[in-house]
Amino acid sequence: MRFGMLNDVTRCTGCRSCQVACKQWNDRKAEETKNLGSYENPFNLSGNTWKRVKFVEKEEGDYAKWSFFSYQCNHCGDAGCMAVCPANAIKRSRNGAVYIDEKICTGCKYCLQACPFHIPHTDEEKKVSSKCTFCVDRISNGLPPACAKACPTGAIVFGSRDYVLAVARERASILAERGEKKFTMYGENILGGLGVIYLLPDSPEVYGLPEKPKNPPAVNFVNVFSNSFVSLIVALLITIGAYASFKKEDKDAR
């Protein structure tokens, strides 16, 4: 079964329990950060920060309105990071978690370039690529991801991807009934379907999400090449088999 996660921006209060729980469970170091005039902290993901809550400020009349966008790796169905990794260090678990095996990663940074969401970063100490694992160690043992467990408002929902989509649709219909017009449900059908679905009060760009994310051409090339390569090997094996059987029949006939 493929697991999924809903990040519902309409219910997030910006408490950052998810951010802290992620660090704690995954044993990620704290980092020194700077105050740049916002409560948002830190300002980007890193090799040690796999989950982050972005503070999005919008002016509405005389007021500024905040919304909070909790995000991490999207565990894409068609994961560009995985396709380009020359060391095969990026794996997909049976339940849909895309994770990096740091014992195999050579730190080449190809995945950093290939991800349409700029998710992987280098762990500068270990010199390997690093990102959210979907808490593969927890979800493979019947536990929800640490961030989902810690969220006190129901903004993060975890379960089968079908269940998560059903919750997202139900919440979207409530928003529609309330007369909200701008909300977006993001991730259902892009890049082979994201493992993480977002319910956004506004358009994706407001939160820094590309409206129609695409893998870079190199990823498609790798996909085509690897498929052709496998086909070539299969064709070669079939030809060798046919030739061997022909030779045997020829010999038997003599």
Max intra-chain CA distance, the chain? 97
CA–CA distance, 89 with 47 (Å, rounded to integer): 16
Q: Does 207 bind ligand SF4 (CB under 6 A)?
A: no
Q: Residue 134, by phi and psi: left (phi above 0), alpha (psi -120 to 50) or beta?
A: left
Q: Contact with ligand SF4 (CB under 6 A): which of 48, 49, 67, 70?
A: 70
Segment 18 to 47, residues that bind ligand SF4, using CB under 6 A: 18, 21-22, 25-26
User: Least Å distance between CB 78 and ligand SF4?
Assistant: 8
Site string for ligand SF4, 44-63 (x = CB under 6 A): ------xx-x----------
Q: Does 186 bind ligand SF4 (CB under 6 A)?
A: no
Q: Which is nearer to ligand SF4, 165 or 194 (CB)?
A: 194
CA–CA distance, 85 with 50 (Å, rounded to integer): 19
Q: Does 98 bind ligand SF4 (CB under 6 A)?
A: yes
Return all residues near 170 (Cβ < 8 A) that are at least 6 apart. Answer: none
CA–CA distance, 116 with 197 (Å, rounded to integer): 16
Which residue(s) pair with 64 in the sheet? Answer: 59
Say which DSSP state 6 is in.
Answer: E
Segment 145 to 164, residues that bind ligand SF4, using CB under 6 A: 145-147, 150-151, 153, 155-156
Segment 100 to 139, residues that bind ligand SF4, using CB under 6 A: 115, 117, 119-120, 131-135
Q: Which is nearer to ligand SF4, 153 or 227 (CB)?
A: 153
Place of tokens 């086909």: 231
Q: Does 16 bind ligand SF4 (CB under 6 A)?
A: yes
Return all residues near 40 (Cβ < 8 A) that are at least 6 apart. Answer: 53, 54, 55
> Which class for 131: exposed (0-12), middle (13-18), buried (19 or more C-beta within 10 A)?
buried
Rg (CA), the chain: 22
Q: Does 168 bind ligand SF4 (CB under 6 A)?
A: no
> Which range, of 37-45, 141-149, 165-173, 204-212, touches ligand SF4 by CB under 6 A?
141-149
Q: Does 17 bind ligand SF4 (CB under 6 A)?
A: yes
Chain residues in the site for ligand SF4 (CB under 6 A): 12-18, 21-22, 25-26, 50-51, 53, 68, 70, 72-76, 79-81, 98, 115, 117, 119-120, 131-135, 145-147, 150-151, 153, 155-156
